């Protein structure tokens, strides 16, 4: 391990590193590897004691990915793909963490990372980023790459009486290494993706599980199984070709789901029996197939209700108690307008005698008290309380860091009316700052592994371009960022999700203006657009702004919106 820099960057004329990468999860590991391979001096900062990102922290019972394992992995190295063998169609958290540790070891990345180092501030001046970490590490860099993830900052519990509760409480998103479940009465608050994965796993061990449901969510079976050996064999024949294929698909997976259904069949064009056959096929396929059974289900309320009703009927079939089943069936919003959950035996778990469902819509929570949780109807005694409350999406981790440009403007303040970044990668007026899978990118709607690979490669190409042309700084323009934001919003307006409360839509309270945060045009279209921006000399970016340089080039002579719709 290289020695930790004990440097006050303010006293150095040249930065300590070319690049600092913040985060050692999926994007961060690849960024460190790729940029070091290109000859840049790189340092990684990671607040956890190990690699893994969310897969280090999210060690709750039942945690697993909802993208197929053969896609949810790196494709940049054919050798890596050849040597790793997944055991399940949807890998569990321990297996994913083993994989990320294997990657860190195989490419010798640990000696480039400062672990246990939480970035507190990043200030741009003198053409460098000046960084300070909580453990008093100080260093400077020319480029700052934020690989902090868009679903990594946990929502903290804010329940009245939390300090009065004498039992133990934990968060699914920051699960401790040792939590005893056996023989205990466990309460769980939150039935989003993490909560729905927790329920069956906890119920198998705990003496009793009480699920406090705030909002009923649609969930579909993973239909988990061993990996498809035949498909893996085909991919291994030509991994680069498989990588190129993923970059050309709507969601970056081999499973044909997502935006490709823009060319699919409308529900109304099918007879009822045909609709049912398609729905059943998607249900048996499992995973996110249910999000794109019909090409019109995400824009047409009547088509959506056909799918929603089918899933509610499946809940009714799975849960023996009709009263419990009714509470578990979402009726207040269309399917797909909030995150669709993928589960293993979630609904069936409510048939167990040691599981109780408490619908907080029917009996609202009042407070926590010494021995448990009190609702308007009764007290529920609990030994262990699990909060599965989700994340501060997109901006959570970034807003916790004091990031300022040379005028002293804070990144968090520039995002008060919704997080935004040109191409989902660069924030206007913040030089040499790149956000992997940021707001305006398709990342949360696509496979995060290939999305991170694409982002890192694109940023690396831009840095290489700058080195070749003698540029020291690059900044996205406000005009390009705003044009991209409007384009992203225009693509989302027809969606039912656009007018439904969910984490992908930012709503400003003063005027109720709505901004859709991720790009919904399809990962394939996004990749093509980014390629065009690079090929045209990076319109929407300015190089060496404010620097006296004969090689300075304003690279935004073209309309940055060119090609958005193609």
End-to-end CA distance of the chain: 47
Confidence of residue 443 (pLDDT cuts 50, 70, 90): confident
Res 191: pLDDT:
95
pLDDT for 97-110, tens place per residue? Answer: 999 999 999 999 99
Res 549: pLDDT:
36
SS3 state at 511: coil
Give the distance from CA 163 to its chain's centroid: 31
CB atoms within 10 A of CB 365: 18
pLDDT for 265-298, tens place per residue? Answer: 899 999 999 999 999 999 999 999 999 899 999 9
Res 550: pLDDT:
32
Say yes or no to pLDDT of 556 above 70.
no
- Are 64 and 93 in contact by the 8 Å Cβ rule? The answer is yes
Per the structure block, which two tokens stand in for 363? 């009996």
Please tell me what DSSP assigns to residue 455.
Answer: H
Confidence of residue 263 (pLDDT cuts 50, 70, 90): low
Say yes or no to pLDDT of 1 above 60.
no
With pLDDT > 70 as the criterion, what percentage of the chain qualifies? 93
pLDDT for 370-414, tens place per residue? Answer: 999 999 999 999 999 999 988 787 887 899 999 999 999 999 999
Say yes or no to pLDDT of 42 above 90.
yes
- Closest CA relative to residue 541, chosen from 461, 486, 487, 450: 461
What is the pLDDT averaged over residues 233-251? Answer: 97
pLDDT for 453-486, tens place per residue? Answer: 999 999 999 999 999 999 999 999 999 999 999 9
The strand ranges marked E within 348-451 are 355-359, 365-369, 372-375, 379-381, 384-387, 402-404, 433-435
Res 29: pLDDT:
98
pLDDT for 412-442, tens place per residue? Answer: 999 999 999 999 999 999 999 999 999 999 9
Spatial separation of the C-alpha atoms in residues 80 and 210, rounded to whole Å: 43
Residue 227, Cβ density class (10 Å: 0-12 exposed, 13-18 middle, ≥19 buried) = middle
66 or 154, which is more confident?
Answer: 66
Say yes or no to pLDDT of 342 above 90.
yes
Say yes or no to pLDDT of 302 above 60.
yes
Res 258: pLDDT:
52
- Closest CA relative to residue 216, chosen from 229, 199, 231: 199
- Are 233 and 97 in contact by the 8 Å Cβ rule? The answer is no
- How much is the mean pLDDT over the chain? 92
- Report the relative pairing of strands 138-146 and 379-381 from DSSP bridges: unpaired
Residue 265, Cβ density class (10 Å: 0-12 exposed, 13-18 middle, ≥19 buried) = middle
- Are 176 and 380 in contact by the 8 Å Cβ rule? The answer is no
**CB within 8 A of 386, min separation 6: which ones?**
60, 169, 170, 171, 172, 186, 187, 188, 189, 195, 198, 202
Per the structure block, which two tokens stand in for 69? 């394992």
With pLDDT > 90 as the criterion, what percentage of the chain qualifies? 86
pLDDT for 121-137, tens place per residue? Answer: 999 999 999 999 998 89
Query: What pTM value is reported for the model?
Result: 0.93
- Are 465 and 303 in contact by the 8 Å Cβ rule? The answer is no
Res 548: pLDDT:
43
Phi, psi of 82 (to 5 degrees): -65, -35
Strand order in the sheet with 208-213: 168-171, 384-387, 185-189, 208-213, 355-359
């Amino acid at each position: 391990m290289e020695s930790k820099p004990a440097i006050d960057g303010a006293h150095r004329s040249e930065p300590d590193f070319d690049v600092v990468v913040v985060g050692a999860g999926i994007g961060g590991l690849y960024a460190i590897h790729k940029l070091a391979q290109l000859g840049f001096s790189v340092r990684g900062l990671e607040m956890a004691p190990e690699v893994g990102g969310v897969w280090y922290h999210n060690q709750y019972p039942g945690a697993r990915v909802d993208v197929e394992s053969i896609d949810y992995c790196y494709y940049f190295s054919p050798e890596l793909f050849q040597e790793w063998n997944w055991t399940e169609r949807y890998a569990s958290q321990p297996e994913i963490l083993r994989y990320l540790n294997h990657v860190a070891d195989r490419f010798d990345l640990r000696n480039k990372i400062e672990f246990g180092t939480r970035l507190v501030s990043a200030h741009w001046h003198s053409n460098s980023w000046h960084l300070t970490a909580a453990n008093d590490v100080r260093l400077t860099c020319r480029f700052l790459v934020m690989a902090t993830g868009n679903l990594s900052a946990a929502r903290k519990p804010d329940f009245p009486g939390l300090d009065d509760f004498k039992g133990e409480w934990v968060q699914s998103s920051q699960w401790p290494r040792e939590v005893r479940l056996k023989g205990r009465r466990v309460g769980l608050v939150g039935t989003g993706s993490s909560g729905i994965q927790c329920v069956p796993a906890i119920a198998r061990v705990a003496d009793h599980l009480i699920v406090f449901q705030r909002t009923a969510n649609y969930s579909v079976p993973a239909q988990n199984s061993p990996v498809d050996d035949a498909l893996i064999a085909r991919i291994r024949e030509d991994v680069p070709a498989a990588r190129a294929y993923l970059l050309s698909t709507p969601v970056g997976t081999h499973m044909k789901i997502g935006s490709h259904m823009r060319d699919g069949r409308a529900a109304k064009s099918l007879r009822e029996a045909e609709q049912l056959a398609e729905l059943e096929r998607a249900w048996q396929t499992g995973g996110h197939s249910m999000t794109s059974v019909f090409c019109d289900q995400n824009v047409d309320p009547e088509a959506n209700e056909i799918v929603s009703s089918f899933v509610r009927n499946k809940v009714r079939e799975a849960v023996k108690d009709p009263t419990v089943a009714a509470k578990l069936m979402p009726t207040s919003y269309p399917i797909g307008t909030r995150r669709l959950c993928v589960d293993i035996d979630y609904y069936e778990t409510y048939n167990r005698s040691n599981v109780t469902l408490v619908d907080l819509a029917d009996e609202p929570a009042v407070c926590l008290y010494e021995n448990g949780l009190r609702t308007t109807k009764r007290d529920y005694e609990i030994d262990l309380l699990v909060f599965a409350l989700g994340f501060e999406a997109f901006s959570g981790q970034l807003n916790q860091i004091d990031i300022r440009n040379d005028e002293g403007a804070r990144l968090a303040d520039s995002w008060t009316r919704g997080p935004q970044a040109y191409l989902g990668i660069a924030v206007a007026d913040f030089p040499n700052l790149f956000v992997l899978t940021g707001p305006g990118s398709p990342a949360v709607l696509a496979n995060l592994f290939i999305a991170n690979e694409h982002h890192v490669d694109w940023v690396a190409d831009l840095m290489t371009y700058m080195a070749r042309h003698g540029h020291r700084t690059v900044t996205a323009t406000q005009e390009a960022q705003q044009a991209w934001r409007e384009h992203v919003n225009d693509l989302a307006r027809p969606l039912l999700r656009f007018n439904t409360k969910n984490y992908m839509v930012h709503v400003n309270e003063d005027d109720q203006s709505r901004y859709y945060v991720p790009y919904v045009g399809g990962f394939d279209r996004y990749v093509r657009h980014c390629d065009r921006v690079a090929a045209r000399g990076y319109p929407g970016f300015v190089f060496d702004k404010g620097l006296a340089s004969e090689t300075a080039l304003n690279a935004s002579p073209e309309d940055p919106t060119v090609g958005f719709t193609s």
